[in-house]
Amino acid sequence: MADDNATSDQGGSKKKLIIIIVAAVILLLVAGGAAFFFLSGDDNSQDDIVLQEENNSLPAIYVTLPQPFVFNVTSDDQQRLVQVNTQLLVRGNEMETLAKENLPLIEHALLNTFGAATVEQLRTPQGQLEIRRQSAENVRAALIKVTGEPVIERVLFTGFVMQ
């Protein structure tokens, strides 16, 4: 009888050990999956939008727009006044010249984009990122129609005030 109790105790401790090992492995897999999910970034939502790798070899030049954009946005209960200072990132002297020659077109495209923004978008960093991305796309589209080239790489907000 004593031998039967000893055998059943060993079997029970082996089962407990196996259960603990399986639980630890599952916990590690879940933690690894969660870490991968949270730490891996979505390539489409990067702040940096790069047109072509070959353009990266050219020097980065920042074109400052002469005046800040001042516009109203409406929320549910009130209007807000927004002021945005903007610069354009271009690559090379040729693109800088094209950007400066087409400043009225660029300002028009930016003003249309900013005018379509909502207070909810402008309040959050993710919303501001989306506005910058949309601004860059709209400016590129307008410049491609006129010059045949996208000209700018990024639209940068160097000052942002919402009252």
One digit per residue, pLDDT tens: the chain, 163 residues? Answer: 455 555 555 667 888 899 999 888 888 888 877 777 777 655 444 444 444 444 568 899 999 999 999 988 887 777 888 999 999 999 999 999 999 999 999 999 999 999 888 888 888 889 889 999 999 999 999 999 999 989 899 999 999 888 8
HSE-up of 34 (CA within 13 Å, CB side)? 6
Query: What's this model's pTM, rounded to 2 decimal places?
Result: 0.63
Going from the C-alpha of 14 to that of each of 18, 27, 66, 146, 160, the distances in angstroms are: 6, 20, 76, 76, 64
The CATH number that domain 45-162 falls under is 3.30.479.30
The whole-angstrom separation of Cα 76 and Cα 91 is 41
For residue 9, the model assigns a pLDDT of 57
Amino acid found at 13 = S
For residue 48, the model assigns a pLDDT of 45
Q: Residue 59 in 3-state DSSP?
A: coil
The owner of tokens 């006129």 is: 146
Distance of CA 12 to the CA centre of its chain: 54
Distance of CA 122 to the CA centre of its chain: 14
